[in-house]
Amino acid sequence: MEIERRKINFTVAGEPKGKARPRFCHNGQVYTPKQTTTYEQQIIVGYYKQCGNVKFDENSQLELFVAAYFKIPKSASKKKRIAML
């Protein structure tokens, strides 16, 4: 059985952000921080704008490659800056 392979590329503009941990209210209710939900929506919108309505079967295997680019921190030494480029 041959596996069908499709390659989809899309770019999300802006500074990459990690997913923040869930937060808990005093009454025990759990919520996701607004910054995380906003960034998740930005990724979803970017995907649909660039890839259209491409969807995958529920049981399909996916491989994900993420390339995240960050600014070089101002605190980095000259030697480290050169290594980061």
Nearest of 50, 56, 62, 52 to residue 11 by alpha carbon: 50
The string of pLDDT tens digits covering residues 48-83 is 998 888 888 888 888 888 888 888 999 999 999 999
Residue-level pLDDT at 38: 94
Each domain of the chain, given as residue ranges in start order, spans 23-84
Nearest of 53, 55, 13, 17 to residue 33 by alpha carbon: 17
CA gap 55, 39 in Å, rounded: 20
The string of pLDDT tens digits covering residues 11-42 is 888 889 889 999 999 999 999 999 999 999 99
Residue-level pLDDT at 3: 67
**pTM for this predicted structure:** 0.71
